[in-house]
Amino acid sequence: MSNARILVVEDDPEISEMIADTLRRRGHVVDVTHSGAEFVQRLKDGEYSLVILDRLLPDAEGAELCRSLRQAGDDVLVFMITAQDALEDKLEGLEAGADDYLTKPFAFAEMAMRVETLLRRADRTAGAQDEELRIGPLCLDRARKKVTVDDAPIELTATEFSLLAHLMQHTDRPVDRMELLNAVWGYDFDPQTNVVEVYILYLRRKLLRATKDVVLRNVRGFGYVLEIESDALEQSSQ
């Protein structure tokens, strides 16, 4: 994993500098800003591999900022931090398009480990040998980081892209949630987390809007599998 350029968006100067110092000592280039307005301007001015985004800023709500990024098609990695520790708050942050979520107070060593896990995962996806994966009309292009159905694009977050890529690599069998946790998120989450189920739901919704020919099925007791719908198979064989 190469050293990354990271933007820290945190209104508490002490916390933001401790985050920045931790990451700089690990070789990363880190910029710091303290408001939503500054965050938006920074993204316009330069390219970042990852953003560490506080959920509660003086002039903006982090989840809304993240949602706006995704709606604009920006797939920069977003690592959200917040003092809100309710499950509903975590799910809202993930639903907005965050790639990971950490509640305060946290250990800065854990924060750095999780940031670098996200960066390694992005590097693995970009450097994968098989540049294209296909199932029916669904195509995932690793090199261009694009997903299309009959050449029409589907907008996915970086996490949704990695999840779909892993499922498309293993269409011969169901993939269980622990395998997905390790392959997509890259480390052990709380075993009680439902982050896999949440992202399966998001991905299934986007696929359903794009095509009825490829379905993401839940195989009870075994996991998840992508399949070509039977009607589509019959049509392709005629």
Walking along the chain (238 residues) 10 residues at a time, the average pLDDT comes out as 85 94 95 93 89 93 90 87 78 82 90 88 61 91 88 87 92 90 68 79 92 93 89 48
Write down the pTM of the prediction.
Answer: 0.67
Res 143: pLDDT = 78
Res 225: pLDDT = 96
C-alpha–C-alpha distance, residues 234 and 6, integer Å: 49
Res 47: pLDDT = 87
Q: Residue 223's beta-bridge partner residues? A: 219
Angle formed at CA 23 by CA 20 and CA 29, multiple of 5 degrees: 80
Q: Which residues contact 121 (CB under 8 A, 6 or more apart)?
A: 162, 184, 185, 186
Read off the tokens for 61: 């709500």
Q: At what angle do helices 87-95 and 62-71 cross, to 10 degrees?
A: 20
Res 188: pLDDT = 52
Res 227: pLDDT = 93
